[in-house]
Each structure stands twice: as C-alpha cells, then as structure tokens.
Amino acid sequence: MEERKHKDEEIKSNIINAYSKYKEEESSDRQKVYLGQLYGLVFKWCKDHLYREADEMGVEVVEAVKRCAEKDKTPEEFLENLGGALYYAKNLYYRNRVEGAFREPRIIKEIKKIIETEEANEGRVLTLDERVECIRRLIPMHEKTIRAHLTNMDRRFEPVDEKGNDNIESRAGHSLTINASISTPQEESVKDSEMETIRDALETVLNKAQNKMKAFYKALFTLRCIDNNIKHYQKLWPILDNEILDVYWKTLTVPDQYEIYMKYHPGAQKSTAEANASKMSKKFFADLDKVIKENWRE
C-alpha cells in the first residue's frame, strides 16, 4: 500500500513538472514536446492508479489533458482540475459506449459493402483470406485489424444446452462463444451498469410507443443485440423477443426488418414494408439513444 502511494505521488510530481515546463516554454515546438510528455504521464497515471480502461479512453484522456493545460492555472490547480476532468472523461467514455452500443460502426458497414460487392461479382462466397485481400486493396488497414473485424462480424455460436433446452433463463452464466473470455467482477459490474441503463431506456421508449408498435420495436431491439454479438447482452435476454431468439439459437438465422414489419402488417407489400421498417427503425434507435444520453448515470 505504501509503495503504491509512493508511486502515485511520484507520477503526480512528474506530471506537475511536465506541465510547468509546458507553461514556461515559449517555443511552440518545444511546447508540443512537453505536451506529448504530459499526455504520456497522464495515461500512465490513469492506467496504473485510476482507471483500468485507460487504454480504451485515448480520445477522452487527451481532450481532458488538453482542456486543463490550456487554462492559466498553477501546477497544483492544474492537477486538481485534471482529476475532475479525468473523472468526467471516464463517464463520457462509458456514456458514449452505451449510446453507441446499438449503432453499427461505419468501418463495419464499409467492410460489409466491400464483401457483398466482391461476392456478387464472383458469384460465390469468398474465403476468409480472399475477404482480407479484397478489403486490404480498398481500405488502408493492417491485416490483423481486418481479421479481427471479420472474426467479430462472422460469429458462430455453439449450443448452450446439450439436451436442447431452449429456456432463456437456463442460458444465464453460459458462454455463447467457443473463445469467449471470462470477465472479472469489476468488468461485470461495469456491464451491469451499462445494461441497466439500456434496459431502462428501452422500457421508457416502449412505454411511450403505441401498443401496436411495441412488439415491432422489441423485435428490432432483439435483432440489434444479435447483430452486435448477443453474448454481451445476457442480462437483457429475458426482455428480448423470445420467438426471434429461439429461431436464432437453433438455426443461427434472423428475419429481415421488413419480414418483422409484415408480421404485424400482413397486408403490406414488400417494398412498402422495407421502406416503413427502415424509417421506423431509424426513429426507434434515435429515440433510444436520446433517452440513454438523458438518463446516463454518472
């Protein structure tokens, strides 16, 4: 404990020294050097003594340091302000992660588009290596990163119950992926907080929706959870669409949005169903993101 306290005080002293040099330096080029050192020291401080998520909080940490450094403060005032700014940065990181939990990243959309176009041209399903190669031709990205994206997109789940038990509650605590990592208690508590925020937001949006729309929205929500890797949303399974989940567990298939729309509007034409489903999906997830942002618990 004493050793940890000593190291904490040592790195805070180094941060104050780097900040002092940054403020005293008149050369803009040298200021950039000291600011870079300040970033590095604060990252180390966060990672070793404050937040285990520091490696993932790059943008938030840099912006917090920059905002504090630009103010005309004494070194001691800077360090005090920095502590508060980093706390805010952590909450901002989690809030952004929860808000974006149901948005498909732009890079994934681009990769899907490239693969779909290439496979349509070839008239067949590409191998993994072929997918990697065609993506590398069009996107300046390391092969390792591309393979990581493809692995995450091309999920394959193993049976949860050898006896074929499809009860949702019986799956709690089971891993759905062959290579799933085991979370630490601290990570689980973070996920609990995120899932609670998402669940409350969903209930808020559904309560405001017309009765005939609630089932449709719930189905859309279930599709998005599956698309974003259903294993991350175990605590939400009991409130998802059981029919869609049951089909998914058994066949690894899910319906399209328009098919769900037609289930609740059986007389609709396919083109109409596709347009309406897309429009309603955008509104639903926009409303959901808004409620998450408004009710995020810092």
- Average pLDDT on 179-207 reads 66
- Average pLDDT on 100-116 reads 72
Q: Which residues contact 101 (CB under 8 A, 6 or more apart)?
A: 194, 198, 228
Long-range Cβ pairs for the range 62-71 (8 Å, 24+): 63/89, 64/88, 64/89, 65/35, 65/38, 65/39, 66/35, 69/19, 69/22, 69/23, 69/35, 69/38
157 or 128, which is more confident: 128
Long-range Cβ pairs for the range 263-267 (8 Å, 24+): 264/212, 264/215, 264/216
- pLDDT category of residue 55 using cuts at 50, 70 and 90: low
Whether residue 152 is predicted with pLDDT greater than 90 in this model: the reply is no
Closest to 276 in 3D by CA, of 290, 255, 286, 262:
262
The full set of domain ranges for the chain reads 2-101, 183-295
- Summarize pLDDT for 166-182 with one digit per residue, the tens: 333 333 332 222 223 33
Look at the pTM and tell me if it is higher than 0.85: no
295 or 173, which is more confident: 295
- pLDDT category of residue 275 using cuts at 50, 70 and 90: very high
- How far apart are alpha carbons 95 and 3 in whole angstroms? 33
Lowest mean pLDDT among 99-103, 114-118, 163-167: 163-167
**Residue in the block written with tokens 């869609």:** 244
How is residue 132 written in tokens? 């990697």
- Summarize pLDDT for 1-17 with one digit per residue, the tens: 566 665 778 888 889 99
- pLDDT category of residue 53 using cuts at 50, 70 and 90: low
Q: How many CB atoms lie within 10 A of CB 294?
A: 9
The gap from C-alpha 165 to its chain's centroid, in whole angstroms, comes to: 30
Instruction: Round the average pLDDT of the chain to a whole number and report it.
Output: 76
64 or 145, which is more confident: 64
Q: Which residues contact 60 (CB under 8 A, 6 or more apart)?
A: 89, 90, 92, 93
145 or 175, which is more confident: 145
- Average pLDDT on 22-37 reads 86
Q: Which helix (H) or strand (E) holds 63?
A: helix 58-70
Report helix, strand or coil for 248.
Answer: helix
Whether residue 92 is predicted with pLDDT greater than 60 in this model: the reply is yes
Amino acid in position 267: G
